[in-house]
Structure 1
Amino acid sequence: MTKVYILHENDEWTKPLMAALEELNVPHEGWHLDEGIVPLDETPPEGIFYNRMSASSHSRGHRYAPELTDALINWLESHGRKVFNNLRALQLEVSKVAQYEALKKFDILVPRTTAAVGNKSLMKAAENFSTPFITKHNRAGKGLGVHRFDHIDALKSAVKTNDIEASVDGIMLLQQYIDAPDSTITRCEFVGGKFLYAVKVDTSEGFELCPAEACEIGDQFCPTDGSDRSEVKNETRPKFEIIDNFSSPLIEKYEKFLAANGITFAGIEQITDSQGRTYTYDVNTNTNYNPQAEDAAGIHGMKEVAKFLKRQLETSLV
């Protein structure tokens, strides 16, 4: 039976999509890729495939899930199967270095960033870096490795005491710290490669730079279920809020970037400093949506994803 196959490693993140597909009577099947087999001498099943692999899979005990997904997509694409968020999209998901270099090709401003392997290299790079700066992991998600430093001596002390956790791929990033005056970032959501909506994320509760990543630090806020478990709360505005009639010259650039890199579904995160400069610092090809913000705005990302997949499946049957 021809169906939609969802490639993933997190059942909780996939449940909303499964429910939306069920509602639309779309035949589907989830492939949980924490471990498994890729039968290279066999032919893949008929259908379309949606890659939702996450760069943070190792934080859930699924260290080699991206590598397995890489092998799987190679197999699928070699047999002509349509994969949404294809092999190139997966490459960008697991490497912020690759993201930044790809974004630059479309004249999209990114924060100044240096990649380093090894603590000595990290500290040497920091000697030529303006403060404040942050560290972050190249393969990240969930705010992994994000720390702010106001002086290089603070970084040296953190390295000496092993307070900076190593990146799973060995590559640590030094990045320009962007100070947003209103303590918010904006995440632009795309479905089918086209802009869907933008959501404002409140980062006032002590988070450094990353929006959807930072809001998961310490499990204080889960964007997928809307539950706030932090002790300190900002009562003046919601954590996530969809922006009415959002407009930006970056949208057209983002759409061209997505099309050129095989990305069908994504959340792209940006931050604006006190001088009005907007920096793009993260591309999430395994995007999730906040249900409370969506209910308030009357728009639902996963339902739009399901509708897109339904249309694509029907087209493949013609």
Structure 2
Amino acid sequence: MSKVYVIHENSEWTIHLTKRLEELGVPFEEWHLDEGLLDLSTEPPEGIFYSRMSASSHTRGHRYAPEYASQVLAWLEAHGRKVHNGTRALDLEVSKVKQYLELNKHGVRTPKTVAAVGKNQILEAAVAFQGRPFITKHNRAGKGLGVQLFQSVEALRTYVEGPAFEEPVDGVTLIQEYIYSPESYITRCEFVGGEFVYAVRVDTSEGFELCPADACQIGDVFCPVGEEAEEKPKFQITEGFNDPIIEKYKRVLEANNISVAGIEFIRNEQGDIFTYDINTNTNYNADAEAIAGKYGMLELAKFLGEELLQNEKKVRVMLLA
């Protein structure tokens, strides 16, 4: 019997999907690709393959999981298996430079960004921002890795030459213009099967840690004295979100064979949209979804189940031909 094969390196981020697959009675198998063996003389099993490989795997001790997953995905694709979020998606997942180039190709505006390798080059790149605030981030990131806000080159120099500097896993640091949001929030647009599911508003007033996964959260509202504050939750699904940017995002996903993604943007004081991240290993916030009655992992499980049925029909037709 064919199955849905879920490729990943982090069980905490995957359990919410597998629970939904179980609820729907969709047969599945997990492939945890932190390490393994790949015999190129063998053929993959029949079924649907969905990759949730993450750019931040090295922060969990899985340094080479994306590299190994890339080889496995290439093997699957070479044998004609149906792969959702395959080699091209992973290629973008681990490189913000490639994300920005692809977004720009489809008319999506991104913040001014300079990629630098080497501490002197990082400082040199910052000079180009001519006294304007800027941020640093890792090219291969996730979880807000390396994101720091600076007001001057000298402040950056203190960071880069000090003990707190975070060396990117691929050696590439991005220096990027800081887009000021008057209301201190970003918007994340979720897509399943290439179709828009919902937009979630994320409060950034407390920093740049934007991962919505339950495993990443210590609570939407944190008070150091242990009392619950009267504040809005960090994640809120926006009802009726409708903006022309959605159609542009859909074209980007289609052009790169990406079925599932969360794309993040920020609006400046003039209301202009700047897109800065394509997350092909997207997660969802349970509290925000419960309030809105919309469930990303459920939609994803339904999509994978339908894809499995379509694939089985296709295989039967081929066998009868």
After superposition, the Cα gap between the structure-2 partners of 1:280 and 1:92, relative to the gap in structure 1 and judged at 3 Å, is: same
Partners in 2 of 1:299 and 1:40 — Cα distance?
41
User: Per-residue deviation at 1:236?
Assistant: 2.6
Aligned counterpart in structure 1 of residue 291 of structure 2, from 285, 290, 296: 296
Partners in 2 of 1:45 and 1:146 — Cα distance?
41
**Percent sequence identity over aligned pairs:** 55
Partners in 1 of 2:152 and 2:121 — Cα distance?
17
Partners in 2 of 1:58 and 1:111 — Cα distance?
26
After superposition, the Cα gap between the structure-2 partners of 1:200 and 1:98, relative to the gap in structure 1 and judged at 3 Å, is: same
Match of 2:262 in 1: 267
- Runs of at least 5 residues in structure 2 that lack an aligned partner in the other structure: 314-321
User: Per-residue deviation at 1:160?
Assistant: 1.6
Q: Is the 8 A contact 1:139 1:168 kept in 2?
A: yes
Q: Is the 8 A contact 2:138 2:174 kept in 1?
A: yes
Partners in 1 of 2:100 and 2:223 — Cα distance?
34
Match of 2:154 in 1: 153
- Structure-1-length-normalised TM-score: 0.94
User: Per-residue deviation at 1:262?
Assistant: 1.0
Cα-to-partner distance string for 1:117-160 (whole Å, 9 max, x where unaligned): 00011111111224210000000011111111100001111112
Partners in 2 of 1:290 and 1:33 — Cα distance?
25
| 1:162 and 2:153 matched | no
> 1:78-157 alignment to 2 at 5 Å?
78-130=78-130, 131-157=132-158
State the one-letter code of the partner of 1:308: F
| 1:228 and 2:219 matched | yes
Cα-to-partner distance string for 1:247-291 (whole Å, 9 max, x where unaligned): 111000000100001110000000001111110000100000001
Partners in 2 of 1:147 and 1:226 — Cα distance?
20
The structure with the larger Rg is 2
State the one-letter code of the partner of 1:78: A
Partners in 1 of 2:223 and 2:156 — Cα distance?
28
Cα-to-partner distance string for 1:45-81 (whole Å, 9 max, x where unaligned): 1111000000000000000000000000010000001
Number of residues paired by the alignment?
308
Match of 1:188 in 2: 189
State the one-letter code of the partner of 1:77: E
State the one-letter code of the partner of 1:228: G
State the one-letter code of the partner of 1:314: L
- Runs of at least 5 residues in structure 1 that lack an aligned partner in the other structure: none
User: Per-residue deviation at 1:183?
Assistant: 0.8
Partners in 2 of 1:225 and 1:136 — Cα distance?
19
> 1:32-43 alignment to 2 at 5 Å?
32-43=32-43
Q: Is the 8 A contact 1:6 1:50 kept in 2?
A: yes
Moved over 3 A (4+): 221-227, 229-234
Partners in 1 of 2:219 and 2:31 — Cα distance?
30
Partners in 2 of 1:310 and 1:191 — Cα distance?
13
| 1:245 and 2:236 matched | no
Match of 1:68 in 2: 68
User: Per-residue deviation at 1:39?
Assistant: 1.2
Q: Is the 8 A contact 2:213 2:284 kept in 1?
A: no
Q: Is the 8 A contact 1:215 1:222 kept in 2?
A: no
Q: Is the 8 A contact 1:191 1:266 kept in 2?
A: yes
User: Per-residue deviation at 1:225?
Assistant: 7.0
Match of 1:197 in 2: 198
